[in-house]
Amino acid sequence: MTLSSYDTVKKQLGPLGLRLRLSDTLLFASRTLWAGAAGFALIALAGRFVPIVSLRLWALAPLLIWLLAVLGYALLKPLPPRRVAQRVDILLDLRERLSTAFELHQREAHDALSERQQEDAGMIARALKAGQLPLRFDRTWLLWSLAPLAFGIALLVIPNPQDAVIAQRQAVQEALVQAEQQITQLEQELARNADLSPADLEQLQKELDALRESLRRNPGEKQDALADLSAAEARLQQQLDPSADSRRAALEQMARNLEALSGRQPSQRPDLNQAAQDLQQLADQIAQMSEEQRQQLADQLAQQAAQMSGSDQQTAQSLANAASALRSGDPQQAAQQLQQAAQNTQQAQQDLANQQATQQSLSQMQSAREQIAQAGEGAQQARASRASRASRASRAAAAATRRTLARARATMAATSTRTARRDSRARAAAARAWSTSPSSPPGRRATPTSCRASRGREARARPSRARATCQGPATPRWCPTSRSTPSTRGRPARPSTAATSRRT
């Protein structure tokens, strides 16, 4: 099926439009590349002063945005066929053949002239190729865009001092994660501790939760993390009882005495809960004891109260009251005081468990603080090692350069000395050759042939210069021909007799 002239023109305008779109895209890209390049250079420059993680990716972001803008321009720019025909007419100097054919087709003109014009446009369109349209780009803007691109690439290639800061932050962040895990594990251990009271457990968990949350919000700043840990340690230090160790020792000694009193073998680490139960049993057994047994028990309780008076006053006071009640013959009051001592022992057990948990939390925080303080020191040491190696390499290169220059100077000096000696020997040999020449008078150095020839040329040229100078209407007074006769003009005057006698 044969296409009409208009259909032929419209079909050929497809690849021509793609070529124009490509040309416009290249022109737009060349004129806007400076924006992406400037953003690329600015972000690379900012990375030299501010630590930016994944700096290269962030620096490429402006170029990616520019590339997306170029693609959007290429895909979304409107370019209708009529506009393509007009531009092709202008670029290829077709004298508006294609655009006129479009106009006549839209007017539905079918006269002979219009048909002829459309046939001519169809013939021209069949011969057109997309490669005939030039690709345009702005060379000036493109060259100006290369400067920030080269500057940004150089900034990314040169070692960045902020890389060490980023590495240190990453190391601190890893240490913070480990510290959070340790705090979580500690909370789980405290929750399984049955000796802690609910109030003490809640207070410790609240303190640990606040510390873990502050460490989670930390972006990797070592000083902030150390400050948070130090503040938490200070708050826990205030909860510690300095007399907890002596109180524990006194209570454990009382528990051993109670084990011996009940007929059991004393243990190295007695259980305070068992000691409280032993006191309760003593309170229950007082009514069945004889007077002598009560007196013995009173002496033992008084002795135990004296031992515990400096560490646990409440328990010591209860034991002392029980001993007094037994001596005064009041077993009921003694039983009540022993029950009170058992309750004090149980409370002491909880207090000591709280102190132990607090001490455990403190040791965990100190361990985390040491890990965070040591984080990044390996990177700093590696960087210092690389810097020292680079410094040693530069010093070695400078020393090698100095040695090379010294050898070059020594070689040049030796060469100059050899050249001077060779020239001296050559001058001496020439002098000996001239002095022994047979054409020179005895005792007088012979004149070289070249020197004699030059002197002869000067002697021959001197009269001609004199003649040239003395000719003309304005003859100088000093010219020898000015006082000569016409027959001798042009030749030097003969010296007078007086002048000859004076020379003689």
pLDDT tens-digit profile of 77-101?
Answer: 888 888 988 888 888 888 888 888 8
pLDDT for residue 434: 67
Asked whether residue 29 falls in the same domain as residue 167, the answer is: no
Question: Of 209-213, 243-247, 426-430, which has the strongest mean pLDDT?
Answer: 209-213
From 353, 384, 415, give the residue that closes a domain.
384
Asked whether residue 12 falls in the same domain as residue 97, the answer is: yes
Higher pLDDT, 358 or 139: 139
pLDDT tens digits, 229-283:
888 888 888 877 777 888 888 888 888 888 787 777 777 777 778 888 888 888 8
Token pair listed for 400: 């090698």
Question: Of 69-73, 130-134, 429-433, which has the strongest mean pLDDT?
Answer: 69-73
The answer to whether 497 and 504 have CB atoms below 8 angstroms apart is no
Binning pLDDT at 50, 70 and 90, where does residue 47 land?
very high
Taking alpha carbons only, the member of 217, 227, 232 closest to residue 173 is 217
Question: Is a pLDDT exceeding 50 seen at residue 220?
Answer: yes
Enclosing domain of residue 74: 5-157
pLDDT for residue 364: 82
In a domain, 504, yes or no: no
Question: Is a pLDDT exceeding 80 seen at residue 439?
Answer: no
Asked whether residue 169 falls in the same domain as residue 256, the answer is: yes
Binning pLDDT at 50, 70 and 90, where does residue 59 land?
very high
pLDDT for residue 387: 55
The answer to whether 232 and 205 have CB atoms below 8 angstroms apart is no
pLDDT for residue 39: 95
pLDDT for residue 393: 66
Asked whether residue 149 falls in the same domain as residue 203, the answer is: no
From 362, 384, 406, give the residue that closes a domain.
384
In a domain, 274, yes or no: yes
Cα 110–Cα 114–Cα 119 angle in degrees, nearest 5: 105
CA dist 479 → 45, 264, 462, 468, 493 (Å): 84, 156, 13, 11, 9
Mean pLDDT computed over 391-416: 75
Question: Is a pLDDT exceeding 80 seen at residue 388?
Answer: no
Asked whether residue 168 falls in the same domain as residue 106, the answer is: no
In a domain, 57, yes or no: yes
Asked whether residue 149 falls in the same domain as residue 290, the answer is: no
Asked whether residue 121 falls in the same domain as residue 179, the answer is: no
Question: Is a pLDDT exceeding 60 seen at residue 480?
Answer: no
In a domain, 209, yes or no: yes
> Residue 182 CB: number of other CB atoms within 10 A?
16
Average pLDDT, the chain: 78
pLDDT tens digits, 148-174:
999 999 999 998 888 888 888 888 888
Give the whole-angstrom CA distance, residue 222 versus residue 172. Answer: 6
Give the whole-angstrom CA distance, residue 40 versus residue 33. Answer: 11
Q: What is the dihedral of CA 105, 108, 111, 112, to 10 degrees?
A: 20
Asked whether residue 183 falls in the same domain as residue 210, the answer is: yes
Asked whether residue 96 falls in the same domain as residue 183, the answer is: no
In a domain, 99, yes or no: yes
pTM confidence score:
0.51
The answer to whether 244 and 311 have CB atoms below 8 angstroms apart is no
In a domain, 413, yes or no: no
pLDDT for residue 334: 84
Binning pLDDT at 50, 70 and 90, where does residue 390 land?
low
Q: Would you report the helix, strand and coil content of the chain in percent, each value rounded to 5?
A: 80, 0, 20
Q: What is the dihedral of CA 440, 441, 443, 444, to 10 degrees?
A: -50
Binning pLDDT at 50, 70 and 90, where does residue 492 land?
very low
Element (H, E) at 245: helix 244-261
From 102, 127, 157, give the residue that closes a domain.
157
Asked whether residue 52 falls in the same domain as residue 143, the answer is: yes
Asked whether residue 330 falls in the same domain as residue 371, the answer is: yes
In a domain, 343, yes or no: yes
> Residue 24 CB: number of other CB atoms within 10 A?
17
Q: Which residues 6+ apart lie within 8 Å of 326 measured at CB?
A: 286, 294, 295, 297, 298, 301, 334
- If one counts the domains in the chain, the total is 2
With 0-12 CB in 10 A as exposed, 13-18 as middle and 19+ as buried, what is 467?
middle
Mean pLDDT computed over 192-207: 80
Mean pLDDT computed over 399-417: 78
In a domain, 148, yes or no: yes
Asked whether residue 133 falls in the same domain as residue 217, the answer is: no
